[in-house]
Amino acid sequence: MLAVLAPGQGSQKPGFLTPWLDLPGAEARLRWWSALAGLDLVHLGTEAGAEDIKDTARTQPLLVAAALLAAEQLPMYDVGVVAGHSVGEIGAAALADVLTPEAAVTLAAVRGREMAAACALEPTGMSAVLGGDPDEVIAAIEAVGLYPANRNGAGQVVAAGALSSLEKLAAEPPAKARVIPLSVAGAFHTPYMAPAEQALATVAGGITTGAPTRILLSNRDGAAVDHGPTMLQRLVRQVTAPVRWDLCMQTLAEIGVTAVIELPPAGTLAGLAKRALKGVEIVTVNTPDDLAAAKDLIARHGAAPSHEPTLQFRVVVATAAGNFTPADDVAEGAEVRNGQVIGQVSTRQGAVEVTAHESGALVEWLAHPDDPVAPGQPVARIGGGL
């Protein structure tokens, strides 16, 4: 199984989109998305300097556009899993067909603009904490009134909050850990971004979503989300919620991902995957010259396409790791309705309900009582017909 990953803010570099404009239709695509974002994405991706593209309001739609532009050159129908880091999660939602590319770029532009405005309300920032015992690091961050905004795995946690508290953390770092201030506008993924979340929710209310066409992982908890409206709600909530990229990588391992492609500007997520997912093949796509290697990886690790008529159905997946139990009142062949609970996953934190997001016949169970399941693992098929 192969996963395609979309990077987040901080991965951008001046001129990184320049070689992509040589592809037929690429510049026109960026011009169209520029109109939606209210920004000149062509200029920002080719001629703008580092300071210009560091601006949150500009960076976020630029990164989403870059990921989508590159993905349009790949056989995505053979890709089984998609995920994105922070704003990259909006791009991933588009790659899973939950959002249209136009909706994704528009949402990213609103998100970036509103988060930049929230950053200006009071002096906040972020610092990377590298190394140390994970539990001790989180405890030290919270002890000085900060938030663990990003938990990236591989010994990387990002603390966010008031600048005075960040200075205190740097003066007294956790044992065996280094604290490195980050050049960002404010405390992303914390309650300081509440005004941005509220503004984004207003816009998101007008967006029509689709059902995911492949496994789509959420930054919130690494779980697979199989319902478009639920994913959109999570994208809005993510503005103030921590990014649990460590749990996303854990899920990639649990569902048996064997290869990873990182979309441009690539490198950061590939580095984390290299340390956390041993033995997984990784390709970084930064220029069109990298597309051949990415297509080869998809051919070897992706799903084989079929053009034969097949039975159409919706797959219901587990959203947490644990043991699956079907609902007592649902049997194969029974009619189920949209939103009906058809089972639950027993986890160490408690039971997590599994619900149908389509109405139709439960064709078959793909998991049985007490079967261990991973996030994103299919547990039932619903529907039928050619």
With DSSP H G I counted as helix, E B as strand and the rest as coil, what are the percentages for the chain, rounded to 5?
40, 25, 40
Q: What is the pLDDT of residue 316?
A: 84
The tens digit of pLDDT for each residue in 196-207 reads 999 999 999 999
Read off the pLDDT of each residue in 18-34 and give the average, rounded to a whole number: 95
Quick one: pLDDT band at residue 386, thresholds 50, 70, 90?
very low
Quick one: pLDDT band at residue 131, thresholds 50, 70, 90?
very high
- Of 38, 94, 97, nearest to 66 by C-alpha is 94
Quick one: pLDDT band at residue 381, thresholds 50, 70, 90?
confident
Q: Which residue blocks in the chain are alpha helix, DSSP H? A: 26-37, 41-46, 50-54, 56-71, 88-95, 101-119, 134-143, 163-171, 194-204, 228-237, 245-254, 268-276, 291-301
Q: What is the pLDDT of residue 313?
A: 58
The tens digit of pLDDT for each residue in 206-227 reads 999 999 999 999 999 998 998 8
Cα–Cα distance, 37 to 176 (Å, whole number) = 43
Q: What is the pLDDT of residue 18?
A: 97
Q: What is the pLDDT of residue 149?
A: 95
The proportion of the chain whose per-residue pLDDT surpasses 90, expressed as a percent, equals 75
Quick one: pLDDT band at residue 384, thresholds 50, 70, 90?
low
Q: Can you tell me which residue has the tokens 């009134």? A: 145
Read off the pLDDT of each residue in 249-259 and give the average, rounded to a whole number: 92
Cα–Cα distance, 30 to 28 (Å, whole number) = 5
Q: What is the pLDDT of residue 338?
A: 84
Cα–Cα distance, 8 to 115 (Å, whole number) = 14
Residues near 286 by Cβ (< 8 Å), separated by ≥ 6?
16, 264, 265, 266, 267
- Of 148, 157, 145, 237, nearest to 197 by C-alpha is 237
Q: What is the pLDDT of residue 385?
A: 42
382's tokens = 């619903």
The tens digit of pLDDT for each residue in 27-46 reads 999 999 999 999 999 999 99
Read off the pLDDT of each residue in 351-359 and give the average, rounded to a whole number: 86
Q: Which residue blocks in 255-337 are alpha helix, DSSP H? A: 268-276, 291-301
- Are 145 and 186 in contact by the 8 Å Cβ rule? The answer is no
Which of the pair, 312 or 62, is modelled with greater confidence? 62
Q: Are strands 335-336 and 2-6 parallel, antiparallel or unpaired?
A: unpaired
The tens digit of pLDDT for each residue in 273-298 reads 999 998 999 999 999 999 999 999 99
- Of 39, 67, 35, nearest to 53 by C-alpha is 39
Read off the pLDDT of each residue in 348-368 and give the average, rounded to a whole number: 86
Task: List the Cα angle 87/91/255 in 5-degree steps.
Answer: 100
- Of 206, 199, 247, 315, nearest to 89 by C-alpha is 247
Cα–Cα distance, 311 to 384 (Å, whole number) = 6
Read off the pLDDT of each residue in 218-238 and give the average, rounded to a whole number: 92
Q: Rounded to the nearest 10 degrees, how much is the dihedral formed by the CA atoms of 78, 80, 86, 91? A: 30
367 pLDDT more than 60: yes
- Of 341, 307, 305, nearest to 324 by C-alpha is 341
Query: pTM for this structure?
Result: 0.80
Q: What is the pLDDT of residue 139?
A: 95
Cα–Cα distance, 240 to 340 (Å, whole number) = 29
Q: Are strands 378-382 and 360-365 parallel, antiparallel or unpaired?
A: antiparallel
**Mean of the per-residue pLDDT values for the chain?**
91
Q: Can you tell me which residue has the tokens 């950053």? A: 119
Q: Kindly state the DSSP code that residue 304 receives in the 8-state scheme.
A: P
Cα–Cα distance, 143 to 172 (Å, whole number) = 11
Which of the pair, 70 or 223, is modelled with greater confidence? 70
The tens digit of pLDDT for each residue in 303-328 reads 744 334 444 457 788 877 889 999 99
The tens digit of pLDDT for each residue in 135-165 reads 999 999 999 999 999 999 878 999 999 999 9
343 pLDDT more than 90: yes
Q: What is the pLDDT of residue 120?
A: 94
316's tokens = 């219901």
**Which residue numbers are catalytic?**
86, 189
Domains for the chain: give ranges and CATH numbers.
Answer: 2-118+191-301 (3.40.366.10), 121-181 (3.30.70.250), 314-382 (2.40.50.100)
